[in-house]
Amino acid sequence: MRWTQFFIPTIKETPLGTEAISHKLLLRAGLVQMLTSGVYSYLPLGLRALRKVEKIINEEMNAIGARELFLTCLQPMDLWKKTGRDETLKDVMIRFEDKKGRQMCLGPTHEEAITDLVKNHIQSYKQLPLVLYQIQTKFRDEMRPRFGIVRACEFIMKDAYSFDRDKEGLEKNYQLMYSAYQKIFARCGLDVVIVGADSGAMGGDISHEYMVPAEIGEDEVLVCPACGHALGISEAKEGQACPKCKKEKLKKKPAIEIGHIFQLGTKYSKALDVSFLDEKGKKQIVIMGCYGIGVSRLLATIIEKNNDEGGIIWPKEITPFDAEILPLQVSDKDILQLAYDYEKELSQSGIDVLTDDREESPGKKFNDADLIGIPYRIMIGKRMFAEGKVEIKDRRTGEVIVVAKEDAVKKMKEILK
Amino acid sequence: MRWTQFFIPTIKETPLGTEAISHKLLLRAGLVQMLTSGVYSYLPLGLRALRKVEKIINEEMNAIGARELFLTCLQPMDLWKKTGRDETLKDVMIRFEDKKGRQMCLGPTHEEAITDLVKNHIQSYKQLPLVLYQIQTKFRDEMRPRFGIVRACEFIMKDAYSFDRDKEGLEKNYQLMYSAYQKIFARCGLDVVIVGADSGAMGGDISHEYMVPAEIGEDEVLVCPACGHALGISEAKEGQACPKCKKEKLKKKPAIEIGHIFQLGTKYSKALDVSFLDEKGKKQIVIMGCYGIGVSRLLATIIEKNNDEGGIIWPKEITPFDAEILPLQVSDKDILQLAYDYEKELSQSGIDVLTDDREESPGKKFNDADLIGIPYRIMIGKRMFAEGKVEIKDRRTGEVIVVAKEDAVKKMKEILK
């Protein structure tokens, strides 16, 4: 992809009213744009990164047998009345009456909708277990949207739902999800703290939160200054602190919640009467679990944890492009041609390449390359080029190696392998 | 993929209140489910087909240099006031006031949002042309939702927007889109009629609609009974009927509008003041085009045109699976094992296979296979199997060929090539 044929509106100045590093960088690198407070559009570069996150989630969900579907934003309030959550979620729900006089809302979550969906299709124990998930836009009437896409009025979530015949089935699916979440966050390059959590408005007994310690976090974890081990506030209270460190020395640190899994039990299946017949022909209530990941928030968290003063440093699996090529003097036909040759060869090897073919100063190009954070770049500058050489730079370490121009593609392939 | 590990809740009876064939089949084949009138969820099989349609659109949009982004559902009414469309689209807009007292709506379309988005990023003629698109959920407060996902309150659209410095640029992009649309619909297996159209609420001079003649269509085209050539109502009125056929003999036929492209001109860019500096440093207003495809409606139209009394007959590029394997007696371990072997071999060749591993009667499996409409299937039945043979059936022609069981994978690969 050529920069001039893409759309990456980078911004030099720090936008006003931004507190979080991720928020500043999402805007400055041309990844997102605010339409109105709490409402953000994804620009092409941001969408590419978002799609990478979604791809990882898709792969790990499919690997544990979860099947993707796509529920709706619009939901009838009638459905929410059946579980009483028209009241408990009142404050965050966006509601309206449509032309036909129906009371509707924009889904802040989908337990009711999915339970209603499977209701008519589960008759027998033979159809269980069933795990369904979606990646879908959700809505919250947020009084104080904050930190860009971390706490927004419109955001993207992955939400999965398990349906089992008994508690053992639920526990098995819960464990599968628990591990899948660890894989997902590891592939996103994040160290997470998993803490037992209060189930809140979701109902059910057991739940776990996936937290990433970070300055802008609105939740908290306890961190041991000695060993770095972190754990949940409630766990420590219950005397389950990590053995090596003394409870009184644990320090509270802010953390971002990026995932939450729940053993729901029968709260929703009872309210909506989702049952099946067991081997003996006896009616049983389906047992449910639900499993959420804040997808847009996850993208922000990745940036929050992977940056330096120059900009973003994308982890390998999330980066919108694998490599960037910087011809520094595009007016020099030979330099530009070499960039195009690299682009072609790398693309043919299945490597996603961005070529900064703009007529801009080398300084501007370096700054923008740091800002958008592609992990590796090939720089073709006049002086080196005259000696038959180019430079390859590692965005994270800053390390630069000089290679003969004939060897650059081979070297880049080795690095990216 | 195994049927028992997927989620395809087929329905034998025709659902009540369905007029359109596509609506009946979408529900019966377990592709979509209604949450409330005009609001449909995509079940896993339906989502796979939808993603195939989206993939074709992505490929053809990328091929003409359009860049994908992702705008928002929530939009502030302030923006719509600037173009006056808060009034012209009043009847179909879903509006509400949020907790902060903001007047908001759910986007029925995105001309205002995209124009506002590019506004701050276009300064120079060097940044033009620019073509951006998204595949996104849209909303209409539809008084009479009809025909399932053909006219719904929540639906998926591809909308593209071009930004040019002059009329020549617009015409070039318009022509690129015009041709890309022909390719998209051809790949979807549809014969379209392209007609000059009334631009309606979009503004601008020139526009074209892509129509598919179909019984449930709410628009109309004129068809020549002699040669089958079809054209738009307004074109015929202006005496531009096809030369071979007499105007008075042309017959009105209903048609579904699946695409609409517009040369907008400066309606939106003027209202929102999107300008650039030309070579002489003179301020110029950007010239726009917009280009829509009803993605969910397109899926319904494909089914509307590809079915028989047994069910859906998917076109090659849209089918959720390339082939289906039907072991007719799964209690016979050798038959089931052969099905698994086929599944494995075909999958390894990159062919998407669905194996109906349910303990159901052959009759039920045949009926469901016809209903969900995978183009080719391998049937493994007891009698044939004893003779070392299996059958391959073409869903569209009904043709059945008998092959030695060792040859089935090779034959299927040949067919699908």
Give B26-38 pLDDT, tens digit per residue.
999 999 999 999 9
Confidence of residue A198 (pLDDT cuts 50, 70, 90): low
Do residue A81 and residue A129 come from a single domain? yes
Residue range A351-366, pLDDT digits in tens: 999 999 999 999 999 9
Do residue B359 and residue B232 come from a single domain? no
Enumerate the residues of chain B whose CB falls inside 8 A of the CB of residue A69.
7, 41-44, 46-47
pLDDT higher than threshold 60 for residue A239: no
- Residue A340 belongs to domain with CATH number: 3.40.50.800
Chain B residue at shortest CA distance from A95 = B96
B99 touches chain A (CB under 8 A): yes
CB contact under 8 A, A117 and B35: yes
- Segment A8-37 mean pLDDT: 95
When the pLDDT of each residue in chain B is averaged and rounded to a whole number, the result is 94
Do residue B279 and residue B340 come from a single domain? no
Mutate: best of A6, A70, A124, A125, partner B, most B CBs <10 A: A70
Is residue A80 within 8 A of residue A112, CB to CB? The reply is yes
Residue range B324-350, pLDDT digits in tens: 999 999 999 999 999 999 999 999 999
For A268, the token pair is 């929703």
Residue B96's Cα: distance from chain center in Å?
A: 30
Chain B residue at shortest CA distance from A73 = B154
pLDDT at B241: 52
Do residue A289 and residue A379 come from a single domain? no
pLDDT at A203: 61
Whether A20 maps to a domain, the answer reads yes
Chain B residue at shortest CA distance from A126 = B4
Is residue B277 within 8 A of residue B254, CB to CB? The reply is no
- Segment A192-212 mean pLDDT: 80
Phi, psi of A388 (to 5 degrees): 75, 25
Chain B residue at shortest CA distance from A92 = B99
- Segment A256-281 mean pLDDT: 96
What single DSSP character describes residue A14?
Answer: P
A2 touches chain B (CB under 8 A): no
A266 three-class SS: coil
Strand partners for A223:
A230, A251
pLDDT higher than threshold 80 for residue B125: yes
Dihedral sign from CA coordinates of B80, B83, B88, B89? negative
Do residue A331 and residue A370 come from a single domain? yes
pLDDT at A81: 97
Enumerate the residues of chain B whose CB falls inside 8 A of the CB of residue A75.
35-36, 39
A348 touches chain B (CB under 8 A): no
| Stretch 153-212 of chain B: residues touching chain A, C-beta under 8 Å | 153-154
Is residue A220 within 8 A of residue A254, CB to CB? The reply is yes
- Residue B144 belongs to domain with CATH number: 3.30.930.10
Measured between CA atoms, how close is B185 to chain A, in angstroms?
24
pLDDT higher than threshold 90 for residue B170: yes
Among candidate residues A391, A323, A392, A328, the one with its CA nearest the CA of residue A360 = A328
Confidence of residue B223 (pLDDT cuts 50, 70, 90): confident
Do residue A236 and residue A281 come from a single domain? yes
Whether A316 maps to a domain, the answer reads no
Is residue B137 within 8 A of residue B156, CB to CB? The reply is yes
CB atoms within 10 A of CB A384: 16
Is residue A392 within 8 A of residue A400, CB to CB? The reply is yes
Do residue A296 and residue A334 come from a single domain? no
B84 touches chain A (CB under 8 A): no
Do residue A292 and residue A357 come from a single domain? no
Cis upstream peptide for B315 (omega within 30°): no
Whether A359 maps to a domain, the answer reads yes
Out of B279, B308, B337, a domain closes at B308
B71 touches chain A (CB under 8 A): yes
Residue range B258-278, pLDDT digits in tens: 999 999 999 999 999 999 999
Q: Pick from B47, B65, B94: which is nearest to A68 by CB?
A: B47
B404 three-class SS: strand
Do residue B232 and residue B273 come from a single domain? yes
Out of B308, B343, B370, a domain closes at B308
Is residue A300 within 8 A of residue A23, CB to CB? The reply is yes
- Segment A190-203 mean pLDDT: 77
Enumerate the residues of chain A whose CB falls inside 8 A of the CB of residue B65.
5
How far is residue A322's CA from residue A219's CA, in Å, rounded to a whole number? 33
CB contact under 8 A, A137 and B137: yes
How far is residue B32's CA from residue B46's CA, in Å, rounded to a whole number? 6
Cis upstream peptide for A129 (omega within 30°): yes
Do residue B98 and residue B128 come from a single domain? yes
Chain A residue at shortest CA distance from B136 = A137
Q: Which domain holds residue B153?
A: 3-308
Whose tokens are 């919250």? That residue is A140
The ipTM, to two decimals, is 0.95
CB contact under 8 A, A41 and B70: yes
Element (H, E) at B379: strand B376-380
Confidence of residue B127 (pLDDT cuts 50, 70, 90): very high
How far is residue B369's CA from residue B354's CA, in Å, rounded to a whole number? 10
pLDDT at B247: 73
| Stretch 26-55 of chain B: residues touching chain A, C-beta under 8 Å | 33, 35-37, 39-44, 46-47, 50
Chain A residue at shortest CA distance from B40 = A72
Out of B242, B277, B308, a domain closes at B308
Judging by DSSP bridges, how do beta strands B323-327 and B376-380 pair with one another? parallel
A7 touches chain B (CB under 8 A): yes
pLDDT at B136: 97
| C-alpha distances out from residue B378 to B29, B315, B348, Å | 19, 18, 17
- Segment B289-310 mean pLDDT: 98
Is residue A288 within 8 A of residue A264, CB to CB? The reply is yes
Whether B146 maps to a domain, the answer reads yes
When the pLDDT of each residue in chain A is averaged and rounded to a whole number, the result is 94
Q: What percent of chain A has pLDDT over 90?
A: 89
Measured between CA atoms, how close is A387 to chain B, in angstroms?
33
Whether A315 maps to a domain, the answer reads no
How far is residue A172's CA from residue A174's CA, in Å, rounded to a whole number? 5
Measured between CA atoms, how close is B138 to chain A, in angstroms?
10
Largest separation between any pair of C-alpha atoms in chain A: 83
B360 touches chain A (CB under 8 A): no
B102 touches chain A (CB under 8 A): yes
Do residue B354 and residue B249 come from a single domain? no
Enumerate the residues of chain A whose CB falls inside 8 A of the CB of residue B39.
72, 74-76
Residue range A45-82, pLDDT digits in tens: 999 999 999 999 999 999 999 999 999 999 999 999 99
B347 touches chain A (CB under 8 A): no
CB atoms within 10 A of CB A198: 11
Do residue A196 and residue A329 come from a single domain? no
Confidence of residue B198 (pLDDT cuts 50, 70, 90): low
Residue range A95-132, pLDDT digits in tens: 999 999 999 999 999 999 999 999 989 999 999 999 99
pLDDT at B249: 81
Specify the number of domains making up chain B.
2
Measured between CA atoms, how close is B69 to chain A, in angstroms?
5
pLDDT at A232: 78
Whether A406 maps to a domain, the answer reads yes
CB contact under 8 A, B44 and A9: no
Is residue B374 within 8 A of residue B45, CB to CB? The reply is no
B357 touches chain A (CB under 8 A): no
Residue range B95-119, pLDDT digits in tens: 999 999 999 999 999 999 999 999 9
- Segment A342-346 mean pLDDT: 98
| Stretch 111-150 of chain B: residues touching chain A, C-beta under 8 Å | 113, 116-117, 120-121, 130, 132, 137, 139, 141-143
pLDDT higher than threshold 60 for residue A395: yes
How far is residue A315's CA from residue B90's CA, in Å, rounded to a whole number? 45
**Helix (H), strand (E) counts: chain A:** 13, 23
Whether B392 maps to a domain, the answer reads yes
Cα first-last separation, chain A: 20
Element (H, E) at B164: strand B154-164
Whether A121 maps to a domain, the answer reads yes
pLDDT at B120: 85
B322 three-class SS: coil
